[in-house]
Amino acid sequence: MSENKAKLSDSLKKNVTPKNFKKNPIKGTKFTIMVSSAKGGVGKSTFAINLTFALQKKGKKVGLLDADIHGPSLPKMIGLNDKPKTDGKFLFPLEKYGAQFMSLGFLVDEKTPMIWRGPMVISAIKTLTEKVAWKDLDYLVVDMPPGTGDTQLTFAQDVKIDGAIIVSTPQELALMDVQRGIQMFGKTKIKIVGLVDNMSFFESDDGKKHNIFGEGGVEKTAKEFKKNFLGKIPISTKLRESADLGLPLTYKEPDDKISKIFLEIADKVMQDVA
């Protein structure tokens, strides 16, 4: 275990972040926004890519870093299979629809399982955070893996994070992990921009809302921990289909009612992180 990681591990046990940690901003970016879920299967990656283009629609220059080493989904969601170019020192992000992207999924075959131990994960994250030549971004959105493991700790100890967004469904089981995520960010001194209620409800053709995963849990948790509640995103076939096609909804149809929810969330993010 490295000296810094050992310090962080000790600090988490004591509920204190070491004062001598040097957190560096990611080169080529002004602000870094972390999108976290603490639990898998809540639509975090779909949220992250649509937030990226919502910020773009607000006139910002934006990039998306897929930090999920074991399950990178960005290549599919943005429809890119090219290999990033390199000058021997830095990787150059791929570009599409006017935004910049980087993922380990661009570097390995999509069917290759990432069966890596902790040190290999940490090394990959350091490459993604230190060896990518982002081009004058206003915001870099980081799609984090679920949980509170090596990836989260590496970001916490090394990278200047300007804010974190926690995405959850209203299901009680998911909210248990959200509470752990809130405490993790508190211990590592990362500001939480707010919580998002994703897959909040399903609206049938007759206009009736069906609360499939429960109701109000995310907003209640936000109030309990004194965090901002950023909004509700319903279950949407259109949102899912756009991700499968590699054409994010907020880019393809910015006037769609769900895209407008993302635009409202982007406004709140910019107000908090600017």
Judge whether 11 lies within some domain: no
Q: Taking the complete model, does pTM exceed 0.75, yes or no?
A: yes
Q: What is the pLDDT of residues 185-211, one digit of tens each?
A: 998 899 999 999 999 877 877 878 887
Tally of domains within the chain: 1
Is residue 263 a part of any domain in this protein?
yes
Least confident stretch, 109-118, 128-137, 227-236: 109-118
Structural domain contains residue 201: yes
Q: How confident is the model at residue 1 (pLDDT cuts 50, 70, 90)?
A: very low
- The rounded mean pLDDT for the chain is 86
Nearest Cα to Cα of residue 33 among 44, 18, 42, 22: 44
Identity of the highest mean pLDDT range in 56-65, 102-111, 169-178, 197-206: 56-65
Domain assignment present for residue 245? The answer is yes
List, as one string, the DSSP characters of 114-179. ----HHHHHHHHHHHHHSB---SEEEEEEEPPSSSSHHHHHHHHHB---EEEEEE-S-HHHHHHHH
Instruction: Report pLDDT digits (tens) over 128-177.
Output: 999 999 999 999 999 998 766 778 878 888 899 999 999 998 887 778 88
- Going by their DSSP bridges, the two strands 209-210 and 202-203 should be labelled as antiparallel
Q: What is the CATH number of the domain that holds 261?
A: 3.40.50.300
Q: Which domain range does residue 197 map to?
A: 23-272
Bridge partners (DSSP) listed for residue 165: 35, 194
Q: Which residue(s) pair with 188 in the sheet?
A: none
- Asked whether the CA dihedral 266, 267, 268, 273 is positive or negative, the reply is positive
